[in-house]
Structure 1
């Protein structure tokens, strides 16, 4: 988005955040709409059971401005953190450590990329079989997002997925989860094939809220994985 608009960096902030940093948005600049989606847990939604809970989607809209559209921001905001030098043709120890911290059973060189819910493991081709690091980690994050849906974790519906709307929804969640994590680790993430897009279009035609629900679930999956990475070893093993 930033590159398409001609901005130097992909860093955005709200009008209020610019003021809080003692800067300002230049007069005449137009912002970009972004949406934050999550799920809220609400109690007392079932008759005769005051302790019952249900999840409801919540969406908030924000207008954000690129740092290039602002003035008087601190130098640290304009320059950002220094970019980590990365070889696109080799493994990267930082995301590798993240994958390891989840304690997911990831079997590389095992076959095609997929998550097997019944056996709770992720199959990945060998690193050398991918176009490069961006492609490898994008696929790994996609399958890892599926892994979070197991009944022992976030409990999404992973049964009877193929050829159904549930399948399309779960694939959309996994692709969004991969996109969130790729952005965090500065990998270029892209949709893996046109077949996914076709199934998503049918899903979105049938349910206009499906995309926002998928965003919420993908965000929850990414948060779950980050929590595992930040947990103490004893907590991960529990």
Structure 2
């Protein structure tokens, strides 16, 4: 990588500063000119999983109406092709393991009788930062129509976006007091104050305002215990507002209810100053925003509930994970399994292997209703210079 290459948080901060100057960041413009939401929750259509907050911002800032994002390799495996001349968008995520070829002492790859390279799963001592390049479905051809994809996603969904938002608010059990002219969170009283519903243009606007305040509420010492000591107008206060604003964007995208940072104009100059002085603050704010979203959306609880039910592998299972599909060839009495990936590589996995546990989690949660994580492998054939945030 070039010594002059800028890290991803720096690139994102610079892009946000430019958009704030132009008056069009997601904080200020929640709806596009075509009436569609400015932020559409990005997801991997193969796994059904979304992307963590900072990557979701990067992908969302491209402002495609289609939520689907894949690497070029994963798109080809799914029967789609990236259009000629399209540029990938770079994301960054943490890997805890890697699949590597088994080699001889001389460094030669070991292959089986069929000529297939034998592989092993290597667990890292600590998570390693990995980059990958994604393409939106609108950059591809031979893609399932968006209408059909969304219809399948919504099968069995009995609640409207507004009903989901109202349920989230009720499930939080937060103290919400209506009255007055301003919406705010009082940390001392641990209560949210918001104007009466009749003060808002519609019920959705009311829900958006409450969700934003719930993002502050989540930081209380009895919940996420986030520092919130800054006075109004201070940089510390603005940093907290940035976290709440990003969380509201993520939650609004998840529920499809949208977001509305109503008092954004008062913070844009401070946001710009923060991003200039410390570009890596956007990464810190995004991590905190993801924690807020996880708490309010109840994803940790969902994951714990799902893990209470054991899901065994069976021969013939096909499991999407890490932009490939694993087929279970055999199962053994000791619970080990023999699998084959989409490249034809075969391996035997024991229950204590990291890949075994990851495949079991993917089988339990195939639609990605648990905590949003990035499960995209590095695409070595694409160079970092191809990364382009929307101009």
Q: Which residue of 2 aligns with 1:46?
A: none
Q: Give how far 1:110 is off.
A: 5.7
Cα-to-partner distance string for 1:112-137 (whole Å, 9 max, x where unaligned):
21111111111111222112344323
Q: Which residue of 2 aligns with 1:13?
A: 70
Name the TM-score, length of structure 2 as normaliser: 0.46
Q: Which residue of 2 aligns with 1:199?
A: 270
Change (3 A) 1:204 1:107: same
Q: What CA distance in whole angstroms lies between the structure 1 residues aligned with 2:198 and 2:129?
A: 40
Match of 1:79 among 148, 156, 159: 148
Q: What CA distance in whole angstroms lies between the structure 2 residues aligned with 1:219 and 1:145?
A: 10
8 Å CA contact retained: 1:148, 1:221: yes
1:34-53 pair list within 5 angstroms = 34=91
Deviates more, 1:116-125 or 1:135-144: 135-144
8 Å CA contact retained: 2:162, 2:257: no
Q: Which residue of 1 aligns with 2:298?
A: 227
Bigger Rg, which one:
2
Q: Which residue of 1 aligns with 2:199?
A: 129
Q: What CA distance in whole angstroms lies between the structure 2 residues aligned with 1:18 and 1:228?
A: 28
Q: Which residue of 1 aligns with 2:222?
A: 152
Cα RMSD, aligned residues only: 3.6
Q: Which residue of 1 aligns with 2:310?
A: none
Secondary structure at the counterpart of residue 107 of structure 1: strand
**Paired residue total:** 210
Name the TM-score, length of structure 1 as normaliser: 0.72
Consecutive aligned runs of 4 or more in structure 1 exceeding 4 Å deviation: 1-8, 58-61, 83-87, 228-232
Secondary structure at the counterpart of residue 296 of structure 2: helix
1:71-220 pair list within 5 angstroms = 71-73=141-143, 75=144, 79-82=148-151, 92-109=162-179, 112-192=182-262, 193-220=264-291
Q: Which has the higher helix share?
A: 1
Relative contact order higher in (CA < 8 Å, ≥ 6 apart): 2
Cα-to-partner distance string for 1:81-140 (whole Å, 9 max, x where unaligned):
2378999xxx92221011111211222336521111111111111222112344323221
Change (3 A) 1:122 1:61: farther
- Unaligned 5+ segments in structure 1 are 41-57, 233-238
8 Å CA contact retained: 1:138, 1:179: no
- Unaligned 5+ segments in structure 2 are 1-37, 41-59, 97-127, 306-391
Deviates more, 1:161-170 or 1:14-23: 14-23
Q: What CA distance in whole angstroms lies between the structure 2 residues aligned with 1:190 and 1:62?
A: 31
Q: What CA distance in whole angstroms lies between the structure 1 residues aligned with 2:288 and 2:228?
A: 13
Q: What CA distance in whole angstroms lies between the structure 2 residues aligned with 1:80 and 1:117?
A: 42
